[in-house]
């Protein structure tokens, strides 16, 4: 029986239960989420499986419905006779007999239960009564099941089942007896470095498994990591997790999603998160475990944010003794303000922790720390802050004790194209590979001399990373366009720089692809009818903008090439002299000429050749 077992035994209860199943089936088909034949086949499989959960939950578990779709089905349901606060020992939900209450939080209530099929002890987590009618809260609760079911890894708590419908939505989870890391910090204070390395390695392995299936946790913190009685480390609570291909409309700009003390700078506001966001949170948690103190303490969220966004934290070795230098450097890199300076994937963290466990030194290549290193092997990290001042004064971030080094000698900062070195009008100057400089982009392996002291630069592998367009997340296309008023202003001024932006509006295949993508996305959220209507409106808008682009192109160029994209590219070839960056790397294109010299007269004529025009050569041409 499921959480809807409270509808009673006997024919009346069965009739109501079957009616609700049929209602779900009809709704799924009517909204265009599944074809009728597919829905009927899934319904037949559902009956045969006798899984003990509602039909919508069954479709969610099989990946046939999204969490937002299931939530919208649940919105119109009448509440059952049992409220979330009436869960009692002895009740059966999703085939699990409730034994006792384990705890309660703002989002849910957790019970110990026994699975009837095999007698195994499990956890049943019910959505809090205050959240059942809250669509965003219900979606996040269901998302914990949807994303958790994707991940099969020993360092991630298993999700056995979900019941999405009725008055008591709940999850059936793996039981992990033991303590969460928040309890360990409260009981033990700072943990030994070797234990921090072990925890970091196991959590990084669990996160790598999540990232491999496109899931970002977004709330890694001590309270969401549990250590079992046997010592195994398990990641809990994917309620804030985000699938990189869709956030289902529940992460809004301005919201704070996560726990402020462990949140990456990019989580504050626009939520442009990726795997490196979890890397930051893991680094903040490990800092706390290692030192017993928070990396960015503060009484108010914005004061915490300002410190995190500036990279203002003490080194762990300034707070506790016997911190291995390699471990400190890895944590500092994980806490980098700029995501490019962090480890790019959790699997990179796994490699770093494995190297530390094997005894790697601070300068080991496996740790890949952006840094400056002197001839004695001393390493000066260029993380977590974006900007580091090199000098002899106490205020310098990298302090060099040499008389030829000025108090504020030079500045290294991570810019859009890499690490930039700027001399700060020092007395003895700054050189790179023997050449004196004022401002230069550093490359891995450069020998940088400040006054008379030389250090070797290491970019930590950042230069080898493939470029990310506008910080696009994996699996998500992000398009940046000029604002329409700005384009219109350039058109009115007959500015030919806007021609390529107008040309991009011409290809019909691009318009059809955009319409199809929008239709598919909206169908998953609102159903087929609304998606079709919206896609028709979008297509009409794009075609209208295409016609306006043709008129604007004529207004600028006085060429009547209509919608012919290839003709316009030919025009561009002839008049601009270089490829636009949207089409190819910037390079000057040679002009093609044909020189014709008359045998009798000796006169020479130069003919300009173009792909756009056909040139005929002959006696009568």
Report the pLDDT value the prediction gives residue 293, as an integer from 0 to 100: 96
The sign of the CA dihedral 10, 82, 146, 97 is: negative
Shortest CA distance to 74 belongs to which of 125, 128, 139, 129?
A: 139
DSSP state at residue 5 = G
User: Looking at the structure, do residues 147 and 19 belong to the same domain, yes or no?
Assistant: no
User: Of 248-252, 289-293, 553-557, 589-593, where does the model show the most confidence?
Assistant: 289-293
Residue 280 in domain = yes
Element (H, E) at 557: helix 528-557
In a domain, 146, yes or no: yes
Structure tokens at 12: 């009346």
pLDDT tens for each residue of 454-474: 999 999 988 766 545 434 444
**DSSP secondary structure letters along 156-210:** B--EEEEE-SSS--EEEEE---EEEHHHHHHHH-SPPHHHHHHHHHHHHHHHHHH
Q: Work out how many domains the chain is built from and give that number.
A: 4
Distance of CA 271 to the CA centre of its chain: 8
Both structure tokens of 468: 């990310």
- pLDDT at residue 401 above 80? yes
Residue 120 belongs to some domain of the structure: yes
Check whether residue 340 and residue 373 sit in a common domain. Answer: no
Whole-number pLDDT of residue 571: 66
Cβ proximity of 525 and 249 under 8 Å: yes
Determine the 3-state secondary structure of 123 from DSSP.
strand
pLDDT at 372: 96
Q: Are 463 and 443 in contact (CB under 8 A)?
A: yes
Q: Which of 4, 180, 219, 459 is catalytic?
A: 219
- For the cut 80, the answer to whether the pLDDT of residue 336 exceeds it is yes
Same domain, 205 and 308: yes
As given in the structure block, the two tokens for residue 250 are 């529940």
Examine the domain organization and report whether 162 and 266 are in the same domain.
Answer: yes
Q: Give the pLDDT confidence of 112-155 residue by residue, as tens digits.
A: 999 999 999 999 988 877 677 666 677 777 776 777 778 899 99
Q: Is 600 helix (H, G, I), strand (E, B) or coil?
A: coil
Please state whether beta strands 398-399 and 387-391 pair in parallel, antiparallel, or not at all (unpaired): parallel
Instruction: Please give the pLDDT value at position 387.
Output: 95
Contacts of 26 (CB under 8 A, 6+ apart): none
Q: Is 442 exposed, middle or buried (0-12, 13-18, 19+ CB in 10 A)?
A: buried
pLDDT of residue 97: 94
Q: Average pLDDT, stretch 340-344?
A: 95
pLDDT at 492 over 90: no
pLDDT at 246: 37
Alpha-carbon distances, residue 466 vs 153, 208, 276, 384, 442 (angstroms):
28, 19, 15, 21, 17
**pLDDT recorded at residue 424:** 95
Asked if the structure places residue 349 within a domain, the reply is yes
* Top-confidence residue, 324 or 597: 324
* pTM of the full structure: 0.65
Distance separating the N- and C-terminal Cα atoms of the chain: 90
CB 325 within 8 A of CB 362: yes
Residue (of 257, 178, 175) closest to 216 by Cα position: 257
- Give the domain-ending residue among 358, 382, 408: 358
Name the band, by pLDDT with cuts 50, 70 and 90, for residue 620: low
Average pLDDT over residues 292-314: 91
Q: What is the pLDDT of residues 151-174, one digit of tens each?
A: 899 999 998 888 776 778 888 999
Question: Which 8-state DSSP code applies to residue 80?
Answer: -
Give me the sheet containing 178-180, strands edge to edge: 178-180, 225-228, 233-235
Same domain, 404 and 342: no
How confident is the prediction for the chain on average, in pLDDT? 79
Least confident of 112-121, 299-308, 443-452: 299-308
- Helix or strand holding residue 532 (H, E): helix 528-557
Q: Does 518 have pLDDT greater than 60?
A: yes
Quickly state the pLDDT bin for 65 (edges 50, 70, 90): confident
Residue 511 CB: number of other CB atoms within 10 A? Answer: 18
pLDDT top residue among 144 and 27: 27
DSSP string, 233-297: EEE---TT-EETTB-TT---TT-B-S-GGG--GGGBTT----HHHHHHHHHHHHHHHHHSS-SS-
Name the range with the highest mean pLDDT among 215-219, 272-276, 371-375.
371-375
99 and 22 inside one domain = no
Print the domain residue range for 349: 91-245+257-358
Q: What is the pLDDT of residue 128?
A: 79
Which candidate, 482, 470, 462, 479, places its Cα nearest to that of 420? 462
In a domain, 616, yes or no: no
| 214-228, 247-261, 521-535: least confidently modelled range | 247-261
pLDDT band at 580 (very low <50, low <70, confident <90, very high): very low
Secondary structure (3-state) at 605: strand
Which residue from 341, 231, 193, 342 is spatially nearest to 281, judged by alpha carbons? 342
pLDDT of residue 510: 78
CB distance 530 to 518 below 8 Å: no
Q: How far, in Å, are 2, 32, 536 from residue 529 at the CA level?
A: 32, 7, 11
CATH number of the domain that 175 lies in? 1.10.510.10
How far is the C-alpha of 18 from the C-alpha of 213, rounded, in Å?
Answer: 35
What is the distance of C-alpha 570 from the center of its chain? 39
**Residue 74: predicted pLDDT:** 57
Task: Record the tokens describing residue 331, joined without a space.
Answer: 């944590």
| Closest residue by Cα to residue 346 from 198, 152, 204, 203 | 204
Model confidence over 531-549: pLDDT tens digits? 888 888 888 888 888 888 8
Cα 120 to Cα 115: distance, rounded to the nearest angstrom: 5
Confidence label for 16 from pLDDT (cuts 50, 70 and 90): very low
Q: Which residue has the higher pLDDT, 269 or 104?
A: 104
169 lies in a domain?
Answer: yes
**Do residues 506 and 411 both lie within one domain?**
no
Output the pLDDT for position 20.
61
Q: Give the confidence band of 334 by pLDDT, cuts at 50, 70, 90.
A: very high
Q: Alpha-carbon distance 70 to 60, whole Å?
A: 7
- Going along 416-464, which residue ranges are E strands? 418-423, 430-432, 435-437, 439-441, 447-450, 453-458
Distance in angstroms (rounded) separating the CA atoms of residues 53 and 162: 7
For 110, which DSSP code?
Answer: E
Same domain, 317 and 398: no
Asked if residue 598 belongs to a domain, the reply is no
Confidence band, pLDDT 50/70/90 cuts, at residue 587:
very low
Q: What is the pLDDT of residue 147?
A: 74
Does residue 140 lie in a domain region? yes
| pLDDT tens digit sequence for 180-226 | 999 999 999 999 999 999 999 999 999 999 999 888 888 899 999 99
Give the per-residue pLDDT at 617.
62
Both 338 and 205 in one domain: the answer is: yes
pLDDT at 295 over 90: yes
The secondary element (H helix, E strand) that includes residue 592 is strand 592-597
pLDDT confidence bin for 90, thresholds 50/70/90: very high
pLDDT at residue 153 in the model: 94
Tell whether 309 and 180 lie within a shared domain: yes
Same domain, 20 and 100: no
What CATH number should be reported for the domain holding residue 373?
2.60.200.20
Assess whether 371 and 345 both reside in one domain.
no
Phi, psi at 102, each rounded to 5°? -100, -30
pLDDT of 526 above 80: no
Query: Would you call 100 helix, strand, or coil by DSSP?
Result: strand
Q: Say whether pLDDT at 422 is over 60.
A: yes
Mean pLDDT to the nearest integer, 69-74: 68
Whole-number percent of the chain with pLDDT over 90: 40
Burial 129-146 (b: 16+ CB within 10 A, else e): eebbeeebbbbbbbbbbb
Condensed to tens digits (0 to 9), the pLDDT of residues 29-55 reads: 777 788 888 878 888 887 777 665 677
* DSSP H/E element including 135: helix 135-148
**In the block, which residue shows the tokens 């994937």?**
345
Q: Residue 316: which pLDDT band, with cuts at 50, 70 and 90?
A: very high
Position with higher pLDDT, 515 vs 468: 515
Q: How far apart are CA 218 and CA 263, in angstroms?
A: 8
Helix axes 181-188, 275-291, angle to 10 degrees: 20
Tokens encoding 572: 């561009």
Q: Could you confirm whether 513 is annotated as catalytic?
A: no
What is d(CA 331, CA 200) in angstroms, rounded to the nearest whole number? 10
CA dist., res. 401 & res. 119, Å (int): 68
- Sheet of 108-115, strand order: 92-93, 96-104, 108-115, 121-127, 170-174, 159-163
């Amino acid at each position: 029986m499921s959480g809807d077992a409270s509808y009673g035994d006997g024919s009346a209860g069965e009739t109501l239960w079957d009616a609700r199943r049929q209602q779900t089936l009809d709704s799924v088909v009517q909204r265009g989420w599944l074809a009728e034949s597919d829905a009927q086949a899934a319904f037949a499989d559902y009956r045969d499986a006798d899984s003990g959960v509602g039909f919508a939950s069954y479709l969610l578990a099989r990946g046939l419905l999204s969490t937002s779709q299931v939530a919208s089905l649940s919105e119109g349901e009448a509440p059952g006779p049992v409220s979330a606060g009436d869960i009692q020992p002895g009740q059966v939900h999703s085939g699990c007999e409730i034994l006792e209450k384990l705890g309660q939080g703002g989002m849910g209530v957790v019970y110990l239960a026994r699975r009837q099929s095999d007698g195994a002890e499990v956890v049943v987590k019910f959505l809090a009564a205050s959240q059942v009618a809250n669509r965003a809260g219900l979606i996040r609760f269901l998302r914990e099941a949807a994303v958790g079911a994707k991940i099969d890894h020993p360092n991630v708590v298993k999700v056995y089942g979900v019941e999405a419908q009725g008055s008591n939505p709940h999850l059936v989870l793996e039981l992990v007896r033991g303590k969460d890391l928040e309890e360990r910090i409260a009981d033990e204070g700072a943990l030994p470095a070797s234990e921090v390395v072990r925890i970091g390695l196991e959590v990084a392995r669990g996160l790598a498994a999540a990232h491999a299936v496109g899931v970002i946790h977004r709330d890694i913190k001590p309270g969401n990591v549990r250590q079992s009685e046997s010592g195994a480390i398990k990641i809990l609570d994917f309620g804030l997790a985000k699938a990189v291909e869709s956030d289902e409309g529940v992460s809004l700009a301005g919201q704070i999603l996560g726990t402020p003390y462990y949140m990456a700078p990019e989580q504050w506001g626009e939520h442009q998160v990726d795997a490196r966001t979890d890397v930051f949170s893991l680094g903040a948690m490990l800092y706390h475990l290692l030192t017993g103190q928070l990396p960015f303490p503060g009484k108010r969220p914005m004061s915490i944010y300002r410190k995190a966004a500036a990279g203002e934290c003490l080194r762990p070795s300034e707070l506790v003794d016997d911190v291995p230098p390699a471990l400190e450097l890895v944590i500092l890199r994980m806490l980098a303000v700029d995501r490019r300076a962090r480890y790019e994937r959790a699997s990179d963290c796994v490699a770093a922790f494995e190297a530390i466990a094997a005894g790697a030194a601070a300068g080991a290549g496996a740790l890949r720390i952006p840094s400056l290193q002197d001839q004695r092997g001393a390493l000066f990290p260029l993380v977590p802050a974006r900007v580091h001042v090199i000098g002899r004064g106490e205020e310098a971030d990298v302090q060099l004790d040499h008389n030829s080094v000025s108090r504020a000698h030079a500045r290294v900062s991570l810019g859009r194209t890499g690490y930039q070195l700027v001399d700060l009008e020092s007395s003895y100057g700054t050189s790179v590979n023997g050449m004196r400089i004022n401002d230069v982009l550093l490359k891995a392996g450069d020998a940088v001399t400040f006054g008379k002291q030389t250090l070797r630069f290491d970019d930590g592998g950042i230069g080898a990373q493939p470029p990310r367009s506008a910080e696009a997340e994996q699996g998500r296309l992000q398009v940046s366009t000029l604002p329409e008023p700005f384009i219109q202003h350039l058109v009115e001024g007959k500015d030919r720089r806007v021609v390529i932006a107008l040309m991009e509006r011409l290809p019909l295949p691009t318009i059809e692809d955009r319409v199809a993508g929008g239709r598919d996305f909206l169908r998953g959220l609102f159903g087929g009818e609304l998606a079709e209507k919206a896609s028709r409106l979008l297509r009409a808008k794009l075609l209208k903008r295409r016609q306006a682009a043709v008129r604007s192109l004529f207004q600028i160029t006085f060429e009547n090439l209509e919608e012919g994209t290839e003709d316009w590219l030919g025009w561009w070839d002839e008049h601009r002299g270089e490829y636009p960056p949207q089409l190819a790397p910037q390079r000057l294109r040679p002009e093609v000429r044909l020189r014709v010299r008359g045998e009798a007269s000796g006169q020479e004529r130069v003919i300009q050749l173009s792909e756009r025009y056909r040139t005929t050569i002959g006696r009568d041409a």
